[in-house]
């Protein structure tokens, strides 16, 4: 028997709750940790409960119940929702499943059917390891003015647009970051507030402290308004913030900046992919080479680092193959030079796709986001596969 499975029941009818409790009591590994007649209370409790199996009645207050299911689905990647109802119309079932329930049980329960279902669900529930599907991408270069912020911002916007999943964009230029300006935002909370409060914010509260970009699934953490506050932020707080965000977001994009200190190294260590940004000129290439040396010293595997050429123009004096030889790394992607579109985007505080979605740079960013996302998903699958092999 594995570790016990935590269950929450949300049902207005006491009798129905008792029947569920009674049936579940025959499963030694199931632990009922909460029982609620009120949907909101049940939902709040579930959001604080980590990995949890939720039985929720959707026949008493259908609209409220659907809202709660949606809220749970959006805010907790770790909940497994079983909807229960005495209405079995296809329309009801579809609505409930679309909202985010994984199973549907008809009331009144038939004991044997209910127990068989619980057996299947618990087996499935165990197999969903605490999901670690979040992918962390950083943009880095030890030189300013290379395009780190432009790339972090536009990539994050495209990832959110493409996947419709939650993407967090973090400005780790803790002194004078540009991310909020690039998206014309004035976040009410910034990194200093989140760092100070991370230990007691639950998932829903944490999400509220991030600033949503327009009506998209992109959420931003900006640098502190007050530079003095930046100095108080610790590497441990950054680690805690990333760990908490991983439970909510599918992607985290970090604009690391140029500084190398314990905070940025923590972020680089946590990254699945570091986009090392260079432009085609000799000083920038030399700096890039030094960054590669640093990454080697930090023991990063080669597949974690991808070399990106920004502001690329055909017929450059220095050939791509020369750069690859000096940096000892293949060029993964080239972003074209398009000063007018880029400047116009920055001045208006919007992504390049909003200036002209057909411009070479907007199309390039779209393709770049798909390539990065495909790469990371394949990497994760390979890792899972290898881990499985090791366990055999």
Ligand X SMILES: Nc1ncnc2c1ncn2[C@@H]1O[C@H](COP(=O)(O)OP(=O)(O)O)[C@@H](O)[C@H]1O
Q: Which residue is nearest to Mg ion (CB)?
A: 149
For Mg ion, the closer of residues 148 and 246 by Cβ is 148
The two three-digit tokens of residue 356, written as one number: 């002209």
Closest to 157 measured CA to CA, from 381, 375, 349: 349
Closest to 200 measured CA to CA, from 240, 161, 170: 240
Does 346 interact with ligand X (rule: CB under 6 A)?
yes
For Mg ion, the closer of residues 225 and 381 by Cβ is 225
**C-alpha–C-alpha distance, residues 59 and 104, integer Å:** 12
Interaction residues for ligand X, span 168-197 (CB under 6 A): 178
**C-alpha–C-alpha distance, residues 6 and 20, integer Å:** 14
Interaction pattern, residues 143-172, with ligand X; x per rule: CB under 6 A: -xxxxxxx----------------------
**C-alpha–C-alpha distance, residues 301 and 335, integer Å:** 24
Q: Nearest distance from residue 132's CB to ligand X, in Å? A: 29
Q: Nearest distance from residue 141's CB to ligand X, in Å? A: 6
**C-alpha–C-alpha distance, residues 46 and 24, integer Å:** 18
**C-alpha–C-alpha distance, residues 300 and 356, integer Å:** 37
Interaction residues for ligand X, span 295-334 (CB under 6 A): 310-311
| DSSP class of 358 | T
The site partner of 128 among Mg ion, ligand X, none (C-beta below 5 to 8 Å per kind) is none
Q: Nearest distance from residue 178's CB to Mg ion, in Å? A: 5
Does 310 interact with Mg ion (rule: CB under 5 A)?
no
Q: Nearest distance from residue 198's CB to Mg ion, in Å? A: 24
Contacts of residue 304, Cβ cutoff 8 Å, sequence gap at least 6:
271, 272, 273, 274, 295
Interaction residues for Mg ion, span 151-190 (CB under 5 A): 178
Q: Nearest distance from residue 136's CB to ligand X, in Å? A: 18
Q: Nearest distance from residue 121's CB to ligand X, in Å? A: 48
For ligand X, the closer of residues 76 and 338 by Cβ is 338
Closest to 285 measured CA to CA, from 339, 332, 329: 329
Q: Which stretch binds Mg ion (CB under 5 A): 50-58, 147-155, 164-172, 344-352?
A: 147-155
Interface residue with ligand X among 54, 342, 355, 372 (CB under 6 A) is: 342
CB 190 within 8 A of CB 161: no
Partners of 81 in the β-ladder: 54
Spatial strand order of the sheet with 331-336 comes to: 211-212, 218-221, 167-171, 251-257, 135-140, 273-279, 305-312, 331-336
Interface residue with ligand X among 101, 218, 335, 372 (CB under 6 A) is: 335
Q: Nearest distance from residue 346's CB to ligand X, in Å? A: 5
Q: Nearest distance from residue 226's CB to ligand X, in Å? A: 21
Does 149 interact with Mg ion (rule: CB under 5 A)?
yes
Backbone angles phi, psi at 353, to 5 degrees: -60, -25
Q: Dihedral angle at the C-alpha atoms of 51, 212, 365, 339, nearest 10 degrees?
A: -150
The site partner of 138 among ligand X, Mg ion, none (C-beta below 5 to 8 Å per kind) is none
Interaction pattern, residues 107-146, with ligand X; x per rule: CB under 6 A: ----------------------------------x--xxx
Which residues contribute to the site for Mg ion (CB under 5 A)?
A: 148-149, 178
Which residues contribute to the site for ligand X (CB under 6 A)?
A: 141, 144-150, 178, 310-311, 335, 337-339, 342-343, 346, 361
């Amino acid at each position: 028997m594995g570790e016990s499975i935590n269950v929450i029941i949300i049902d207005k009818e006491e009798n129905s709750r008792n029947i569920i409790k009674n049936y579940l009591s025959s499963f030694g590994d199931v632990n009922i940790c909460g029982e609620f007649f009120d949907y909101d209370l049940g939902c709040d409790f579930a959001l604080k409960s980590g990995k949890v199996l939720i039985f929720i009645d959707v026949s008493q207050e259908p609209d409220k119940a659907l809202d709660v299911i949606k809220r749970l689905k959006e805010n907790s990647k770790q909940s497994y929702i079983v909807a229960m109802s005495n209405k079995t119309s296809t329309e009801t079932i579809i609505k409930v499943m679309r909202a985010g329930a994984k199973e549907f049980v008809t009331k009144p329960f038939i004991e044997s059917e209910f127990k068989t279902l619980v057996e299947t669900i618990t087996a499935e529930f165990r197999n969903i390891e605490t999901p670690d599907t979040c992918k962390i991408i950083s943009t880095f270069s030890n030189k300013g003015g290379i395009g780190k912020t432009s790339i972090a911002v536009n990539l994050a916007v495209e990832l959110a647009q493409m996947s419709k999943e939650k993407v967090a964009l973090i400005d780790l230029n803790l002194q004078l970051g540009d991310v909020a300006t690039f998206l014309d935002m004035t976040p009410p909370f910034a990194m200093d507030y989140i760092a100070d409060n991370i230990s007691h914010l639950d998932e829903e509260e944490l999400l509220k402290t991030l600033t949503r970009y327009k009506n998209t699934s992109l959420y931003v953490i900006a640098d502190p308004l007050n530079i003095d506050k930046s100095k108080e932020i610790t590497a441990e707080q950054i680690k805690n913030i990333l760990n908490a965000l991983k439970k909510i977001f599918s992607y985290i994009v970090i604009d690391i900046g140029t500084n190398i200190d314990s905070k940025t190294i923590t972020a680089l260590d946590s990254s699945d992919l570091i986009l090392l940004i260079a432009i085609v000129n000799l000083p920038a290439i030399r700096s890039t080479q030094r960054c590669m040396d640093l990454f080697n010293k930090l023991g990063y595997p080669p597949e974690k680092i991808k070399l990106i050429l920004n502001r690329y123009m055909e017929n450059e004096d220095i050939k791509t193959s020369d750069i690859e030889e000096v940096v000892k790394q293949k060029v993964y992607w080239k972003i074209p030079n398009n000063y007018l579109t880029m400047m116009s985007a920055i001045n208006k505080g919007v992504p390049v796709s909003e200036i002209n979605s057909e411009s070479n740079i907007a199309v390039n960013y779209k393709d770049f986001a798909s390539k990065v996302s495909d790469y990371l998903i394949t990497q994760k699958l390979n890792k899972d596969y290898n881990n499985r092999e090791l366990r055999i």
